[in-house]
């Protein structure tokens, strides 16, 4: 959603939520009806008989319509009220951070769009025919086949910081139009490169703790007071081991079909983040029901299994043909600055299905509703972008364009897609 539209919606929402407005509208209506209608012969008995009943009905209708409009606007604005979705403002908070993902757009791809955006600080001209955008995504580990070791402390649980505790109700209610459920998640406390190994130090947290920290980090619970301003204000990004946020592990997967289509999901309006926007093939938290072993410890095998099972849960694809390996499919480990630096894995994968077969499987899966855990689906509509179109895509922090098509997406999703394209091009050049 464009930021001017966000401001307008917020203004209308403030008006709708003022109950006095409904009373004023009712008073104005009846003043016009009984005082300024010269053809009507005013009688006190008529006022008592007619208006007393009519006023209740009319004010009820006004309140009902106002409530409907208010609910709609809350849903449309929820992401923007709990997270800073303006990539430019977000990046400016951290001027000492040099690791943001950047992407070079060729100007001839979409000249008019580049010209319209020329005032944005995230738009930087680079030569005569290209533009570079920055995205609020920081890459901490790039694929280099380094061995990954997990040091898991299954009995250690994240303790919610005092600010979030004191404002828990307000922060949690910022998700009022989202469908959410609680679960135990894996928390990434820190990571460290030791010789030829990348060590991940993990513990436990809950999804609700992440909802009131990472996913409501920019919600203003008091005038000018947000968790970001108080716990991660800049000019640099707080390291994971010093972060006071829940920081549950999540992952994104870009999946390519047999005929070279990359699968995207049009996210529904009830998910906790990215409402109505375009998301990657898979965007999920690391489910402990999949990634823990019999001893309830987090392992590499569990991580790989969790990605496979999420592909099945979200797209309805048979995972027998999808075997995820960190060494083969992991592209990067990054921090999503939109959510306060939450750690994420970025994967790529290929499936032995054509895009038509994926569509058919997905339609059947939605009808059958055979997910044994009854999890919330990210969306019920798939979008496909062929790899042959990647050279013609224009990626801005909140929108992608290819051909005559345009899709809105969160800045972090745009950043990971931009990084994925760079990785895909690099691999294509190596293969050639």
77, 153: one domain: no
Quickly count: other Cβ atoms within 10 Å of residue 243's Cβ: 24
pLDDT at 114: 47
Count CB neighbours of 239 within 10 A.
10
The two tokens of residue 94 are 């951290």
Query: What pLDDT, on a 0 to 100 scale, did the predictor assign at position 122?
Result: 45
Q: Which residues contact 428 (CB under 8 A, 6 or more apart)?
A: none
Per-residue pLDDT of 279-322, as tens digits, reads 999 999 999 999 999 999 999 999 999 999 999 889 988 767 78
Give the pLDDT score at 3. 62
- Asked, for residue 110, whether it belongs to a domain, the answer is no
What is the model's pLDDT at position 111? 53
Both 45 and 175 in a single domain?
Answer: no
Out of 82, 97, 123, a domain closes at 82
The angle at the Cα of 351, spanning 350 to 357, to the nearest 5 degrees, equals 140
Residues 169 and 76 in one domain: no
Please list the helix, strand and coil fractions of the chain in percent, rounded to the nearest 5, in that order.
40, 25, 30
Residues 76 and 169 in one domain: no
Q: Which CATH number fits the domain that encloses residue 367?
A: 3.90.79.10
Are residues 145 and 77 located together in one domain of the fold?
A: no
Asked whether residue 126 is domain-assigned, the answer is: no
Number of separate helices (H) and strands (E) present in the chain: 15, 16
pLDDT at 260: 93
Residue 163 resides in a domain:
yes
Q: How is residue 276 written in tokens?
A: 């109505």
For the whole model, what pTM was predicted?
0.83
Q: Is 218 part of a structural domain of the chain?
A: yes
Residue-level pLDDT at 431: 65
Q: Are residues 199 and 63 in the same domain?
A: no
Of the three residues 82, 113, 131, the one that is the final residue of a domain is 82
d(CA 344, CA 341) in angstroms, rounded, equals 9
Residue 282, in any domain of the structure: yes
User: Are 42 and 156 members of one domain?
Assistant: no
Helix axes 300-315, 355-368, angle to 10 degrees: 80
Could you give the CA distance from residue 150 to residue 195 in angstroms, rounded to a whole number? 15
> Number of structural domains, the chain?
2
Domain end among 82, 111, 129: 82
Per-residue pLDDT of the chain (432 residues; tens, 9 = 90+): 666 666 666 665 565 555 555 555 555 555 555 555 555 555 545 545 555 556 666 666 777 776 777 778 788 888 889 999 999 999 999 999 988 999 988 755 555 454 444 444 444 555 555 678 899 999 999 876 678 999 999 999 999 999 999 999 999 999 998 988 899 999 999 999 888 889 999 999 999 999 999 999 999 998 889 999 999 999 999 999 999 999 999 999 999 999 999 999 999 988 888 899 999 999 999 999 999 999 999 999 999 999 999 998 899 887 677 889 998 899 999 999 999 999 999 999 999 999 999 999 898 888 876 555 556 677 889 999 999 888 888 898 888 887 778 899 999 999 999 999 988 888 777 666
Same domain, 209 and 346: yes
Tell me if 210 is assigned to some domain: yes
Q: Which residues of 284-303 are buried (b: 16+ CB within 10 A; e: fewer)?
A: bbbbbebbbeeeeebebebb
pLDDT for res 116: 45
* CA separation for the pair 152, 160 (Å, rounded): 20
The whole domain housing 329 covers 141-431
- Any domain includes 185: yes
Q: What is the pLDDT of residues 193-209, one digit of tens each?
A: 888 889 999 999 999 99
Q: 76 with 159, same domain?
A: no
Whether 268 is in a domain gets the answer yes
């Amino acid at each position: 959603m464009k930021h001017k539209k966000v401001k307008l919606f917020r203004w209308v929402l403030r008006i709708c939520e003022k109950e006095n407005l409904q009373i004023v509208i009712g008073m104005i209506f009846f003043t016009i009806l009984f005082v300024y209608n010269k053809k009507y012969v005013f009688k006190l008995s008529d006022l008592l008989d007619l208006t007393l009943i009519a006023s209740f009905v009319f004010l009820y209708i006004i309140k009902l319509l106002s409530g409907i409009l208010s609910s709609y606007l809350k849903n449309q604005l929820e992401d923007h009220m709990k997270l800073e979705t303006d990539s430019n403002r977000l990046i400016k908070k951290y001027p000492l951070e040099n690791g943001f993902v950047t992407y070079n757009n060729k100007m001839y791809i979409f000249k008019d769009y580049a010209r319209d955006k020329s005032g944005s600080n995230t738009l930087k001209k680079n030569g005569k025919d290209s533009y570079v955008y920055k995205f609020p995504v920081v890459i901490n580990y790039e694929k280099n086949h380094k061995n990954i070791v997990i040091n898991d402390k299954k009995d250690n649980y994240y303790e919610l910081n005092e600010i979030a505790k004191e404002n828990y109700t307000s922060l949690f209610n910022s998700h009022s139009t989202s469908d959410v459920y609680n679960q135990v998640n894996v928390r990434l406390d820190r990571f460290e490169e030791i010789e030829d190994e990348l060590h991940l130090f993990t513990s436990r947290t809950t999804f609700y703790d992440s909802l009131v920290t990472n996913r409501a980090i920019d919600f203003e619970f008091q005038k000018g007071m947000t968790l970001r301003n108080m716990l991660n204000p800049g000019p640099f990004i707080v390291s994971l081991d010093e972060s006071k946020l829940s920081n549950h592990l999540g992952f994104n997967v870009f999946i390519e079909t047999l005929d070279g289509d990359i699968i995207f999901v049009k996210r529904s309006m009830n998910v906790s983040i990215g409402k109505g926007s375009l998301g990657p093939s898979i965007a999920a938290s690391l489910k402990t029901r999949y990634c823990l072993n019999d001893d309830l410890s987090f392992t590499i095998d569990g991580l790989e299994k969790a990605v496979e099972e999420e592909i099945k849960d979200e797209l309805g694809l048979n995972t027998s043909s999808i075997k995820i390996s960190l060494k083969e499919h992991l592209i990067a480990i990054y921090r999503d600055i939109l959510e306060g630096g939450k750690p994420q894995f970025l994967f790529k994968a290929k499936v032995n299905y054509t895009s038509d077969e994926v569509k058919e499987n997905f339609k059947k899966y939605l009808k059958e509703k055979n997910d044994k855990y009854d999890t919330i689906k990210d969306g019920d509509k798939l979008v496909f972008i062929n790899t042959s179109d990647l050279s013609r895509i224009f990626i801005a922090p909140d929108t992608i364009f290819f051909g005559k098509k345009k899709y809105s997406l969160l800045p972090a999703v745009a950043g990971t897609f931009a990084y994925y394209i760079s990785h895909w091009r690099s691999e294509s050049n190596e293969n050639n």
